[in-house]
Amino acid sequence: MAAKGGRLGGAGSACELPVTFDLAARWKPKAVAFEPDSDPDPVLDALAELAEQGTVQMVCEIDAKPAGNIGFLRVWRGAASEDDPQAVLRAFVADDPQAGKAAYTQVRAGALAAAEVAYTGHSELLDEPKKQRAFAVKTPDGPVVVHLGGLDTEEHTAMLPAYELAKRSLTLG
């Protein structure tokens, strides 16, 4: 079980979200924003493309390095829609070119109905498969996806308690 280090998502937090959840101790959140530029820049365009996956866009990165791990919890948001959380996750995984076998389940994130996916990705750096996981909830402001990657499966496993803390403590903002 991860020790609590603060709460994310509320007004005045590093990333204002339609949900709030507890952060693991020493994990550092940072808002992510990619604004369209009137002056096309291939590098910025490529980064902006990486910040969109399926029907959601990355809005927050929570860095595990200060806690001794190599990886991030990433928070993604989408526009309000009728899509259920599992449909959002299916689109999210389908848009990941490194994604492999995926298993979807219905879960709870705090008191909210949620969907979760555990899947295998591929680490280009290490040229090996690695575990990944994400959960999604539906909010009046659109879906929210919380994704845990990591450098490799060992790092992913070490960071799971922080992911579980976020999932267990999630509430509507």
For residue 51 the two structure tokens come to: 């910040």
Instruction: Map out the domains of the chain as residue ranges.
Output: 4-172
Q: How far apart are CA 162 and CA 22, in angstroms?
A: 9
Burial of 128 (0-12, 13-18, 19+ CB in 10 A): exposed
Q: Say which amino acid occupies 58.
A: M
Structure tokens at 35: 């604004």
Rounded to whole angstroms, the Cα distance separating 14 from 72 reads: 15
Question: Which residue in 102, 104, 108 sits closest to 129, CA to CA?
Answer: 102
Percent of residues in the chain assigned helix, strand, coil, to nearest 5: 25, 45, 35
Place domain 4-172 in its CATH homologous superfamily: Mog1/PsbP, alpha/beta/alpha sandwich (3.40.1000.10)
Of the pLDDT bands very low, low, confident and very high (cuts 50, 70, 90), residue 33 is confident
Q: Phi and psi at residue 88, in whole multiples of 5°?
A: -65, -45
- Asked if 122 and 140 touch (Cβ cutoff 8 Å), the reply is no
Is residue 27's pLDDT more than 60?
yes
| pTM of the predicted structure, to 2 decimals | 0.92
Per-residue model confidence as pLDDT tens digits over 95-138? 999 999 999 999 999 999 999 999 999 877 778 999 999 999 99
